[in-house]
Structure 1
Amino acid sequence: MTSAHPSLNLSDELLIAKGRHRACYQHPTNAELCIKVHLNAHDDLETIREVRYFKWLHRGHEKLAGIADYCGKVSTNLGTGYVYELVKDYDGQVSKTLEHYLKNLDDTLLQAIDISSAYREFKRALQRQYISMMNLKTYNIVFRKESETKGHFYLVDNLGSANLLPLSYFFKSIASRMLRRKFLRFESLVAERYHFSLD
């Protein structure tokens, strides 16, 4: 819940990334967290869906694998902020998106940092937990480097279902079919756009 404490000040220096609907800032007092705020206060359907799903997930999982977890709400100078785990590399830098690696590294370097192995582990983790999500995007997945060659993927956005009655939350068979379709579509998109096989 939003606390009665003074608002946190989110300045341009703390900005990590900005999308169509939300901006993500480094938490000003906790380096392990980030805060997402809406660019338009009325454009909050995505966040409402995501927060509801995280609350549902927290009832059944002590620790989520492959997902940047939701930690609650805070008051900020830019409106209500939604606090999440901030995924960072072994050297303390904010982890970069899969899109960054696909656009900036050639195939040899992609193989050298073991993108494919990390992706397969990420895929298994989400399937094992029957995670519901919207469409996977290369800019919603980050690669957390744990050394120069090894790391893990994390989904940082777009969780939950847009369906009025999200059957995938309650039926593992439906969640499994949904995940299979979305991963196949995502892998085909990456192969077509970046000429790289994830799996």
Structure 2
Amino acid sequence: MELLNEHYLGQGRQKVVYRHPCDPNLCIKIPKAKPRLLKSLKREIKYLKRHQQKLQFLSNYLGEIETNLGKGYLFSLICDHDGAVSKPLESIYSELDGLGEKVASMYQSLLKNKSAVSELEPCNILVKRWENGDYELYIIDGFGNSDFIKVCDFSRIFLKNKLTRKFRGLCELLDLPQSFLD
């Protein structure tokens, strides 16, 4: 698969993301050339495989693909009703009504399904807009348990503490109520 500059969507600290040249509903994440970053991506994929069927707000992992830039990882591309790539929460959160309820619902769903997040940041959450003005939040990065000793995978108490800490930080960044964390 040949990826060109015209397919480039963006990049974070660990990965560069391209739109799939043949399927507009997919993106390809290429890890930056550091071995520890590949380890992080593999860990995230492991958790996605385990949880993506239960959690509707995850970008689905669909497999590996060879590209001219190295091994790539296929994910569903989150797009708005008009086909535009959805925007990150960090850039539009002040425009959104009901954001506190959506974030609280995500927290409850992660807790119910015993799912951890490693980096719950506004840049790792996309806002998919529907034609009727409603929207959904999607986690596109930072999913899974990055702890060295993965106690959260086996203890609901530790998982709840971790999720509460992560969501408290997100709510503080976005100036959202935190009453759902009590």
TM-score (norm 2): 0.86
Unaligned segments of structure 1, at least 5 residues = 1-7, 192-196
3-state DSSP class of the match of 2:75? strand
Distance 1:165 1:146, change over 3 A: same
Indicate the residue corresponding to 2:96 in structure 1. 110
Distance 2:105 2:6 in 1: 34
Distance 1:96 1:198, change over 3 A: farther
Q: CA RMSD in A?
A: 2.0
Give the C-alpha shift of residue 158 in structure 1.
0.8
1:73 to 55, 59, 64: 64
Q: Which residues of 2 match residues 86-165 of structure 1 at below 5 A?
A: 86-102=77-93, 107=94, 109-111=95-97, 114-165=98-149
Distance 1:150 1:179 in 2: 26
Give the C-alpha shift of residue 177 in structure 1.
2.0
Indicate the residue corresponding to 1:3 in structure 2. none
* Identity value in percent: 28
Indicate the residue corresponding to 1:53 in structure 2. 47
Q: AA paired with 1:27?
A: H
Distance 1:65 1:129 in 2: 11
Distance 2:65 2:30 in 1: 10
CA contact (8 A) 1:65 1:125 kept: no
3-state DSSP class of the match of 2:123? coil
Unaligned segments of structure 2, at least 5 residues = none
Distance 1:94 1:130 in 2: 29
Q: Deviations over 1:84-130 (max 9, x none)?
A: 1111111111110001103xxxx5x433xx43343333333222222
- Equivalenced residue count is 177
Give the C-alpha shift of residue 160 in structure 1.
1.6
Question: Which shows bigger deviation, 175-184 or 76-85?
Answer: 175-184
CA contact (8 A) 2:54 2:113 kept: no
Q: AA paired with 1:186?
A: L
